[in-house]
Amino acid sequence: MASLQTMKQSSLDLNLSTKTTRKQELLAQMDLVVPWAALVELIAPYYPEGKNGRPPFALQAMLRIHCMQQWFTLSDLAMKEAFFDTRIYHKLAEQILGIVNELLAAQGLRLKAGTAVDATLIAAPSSIKNKDKKRDPEMHSSQKGNEWHFGMKAHIGVDADSGLEHTVIGTSGNVADVVEVGGNSVLHGEEKDGFGDAGYQGVQKRPDARADMTWHIAMRLGKRKELDKENNPVDSLIDQLEKIKASIRAKVEHPFRVIKRQFGYVKVRYRGLKKNTLQIKTLFALSNLWMVRHQLLAAQGSVRLQTGK
């Protein structure tokens, strides 16, 4: 009897130890590709020394837990208060994104010839059942199709070649997509070509548009449906061009998919635009690493083979 029980326990332990979950795989891969040392160096000058009161947690431990909360949308109140709400991470979110992108540029994974732009709506609580008895005044409603959505928008610019995000702007939900592009907010300044969906029609005519940049904006759906692709060669070529532009614009959907589906970020966590925008910047920095994790891991493997380490 005891022998049978031991066999069952051994079998159970074996199954548990060999099965890898999606979360374990994500953690293992991100542990290898996140530039931990560079981020610790960035944060260290701002980190409390703990001379008075309770000693702070180790910086690298705090940083890793902060990243885990982004990857798994952890909402435990104590964790939020102890880790994510720390002012350091809000203050340095932009620089964290910059360090990640510098790493990717050094690996040849970021090009600067073209930028694809897009925006996504992020829901905010519309209920007034809170202590202030009112909705967040910095969030607004926006219509998408026949539906209205209350919240904010994340406007991003990504490399048209790699799909890696380089710029993030947060606005209220009622700000038109073209406004942030017309003001060059989501551009890095070195691109020569820009790509956007039909919502960016007229961007090149705006008074603040860059004269040295060519925009490739999608044709409106109704106008495209009127093309006679079978009988008119010119219309057929126009339709082919629209397909090419669409394939490039599709790159901008990848970062949105990662933060919403992989990291589970589908609604704002805080009141006000500032904190939420800074969280989004951190999420997009991590999404960039996630999207090129295989290339980064392969590069690390190549270095180990060459150095023997």
Q: What is the pLDDT of residues 248-292, one digit of tens each?
A: 999 999 999 999 998 989 999 888 999 999 999 999 999 999 999
Q: Is residue 249 part of a domain?
A: yes
**pLDDT score, position 160:** 92
pLDDT in tens, 94-126: 899 999 999 898 888 877 889 999 999 999 988
CA dist 42 to 27, 58, 63, 93, Å? 22, 15, 11, 11
Q: Is residue 1 part of a domain?
A: no
Q: Provide, rounded to the nearest whole percent, the portion of the chain with pLDDT above 90.
A: 46
**pLDDT score, position 128:** 66
Q: Is residue 6 part of a domain?
A: no
Q: Is residue 8 part of a domain?
A: no
Q: Is residue 88 part of a domain?
A: yes
Give the range of the structural domain holding residue 164, as residue numbers without chain letter: 17-307
Number of structural domains in the chain? 1
Q: Please name the helix (run of DSSP H) or strand (run of DSSP E) that holds residue 253, with its range, or none.
A: helix 253-257
Quote the CA–CA distance of 168 and 119 in Å, as a whole number: 10
Mean pLDDT of 131-150: 85
Q: Is residue 64 part of a domain?
A: yes
Of the candidates 234, 192, 189, the residue with the CA atom closest to the CA atom of residue 214 = 192
Q: Is residue 125 part of a domain?
A: yes
pLDDT in tens, 10-67: 443 434 445 667 777 888 888 889 999 999 899 888 887 666 655 567 788 888 888 8
> In this model, does residue 307 exceed pLDDT 90?
no
> In this model, does residue 198 exceed pLDDT 70?
yes
Q: Is residue 7 part of a domain?
A: no
Quote the mean pLDDT of the chain. 83
Mean pLDDT of 81-93: 62
> In this model, does residue 129 exceed pLDDT 80?
no
Q: What is the DSSP letter of 267?
A: B
Quote the CA–CA distance of 255 and 260 in Å, as a whole number: 9
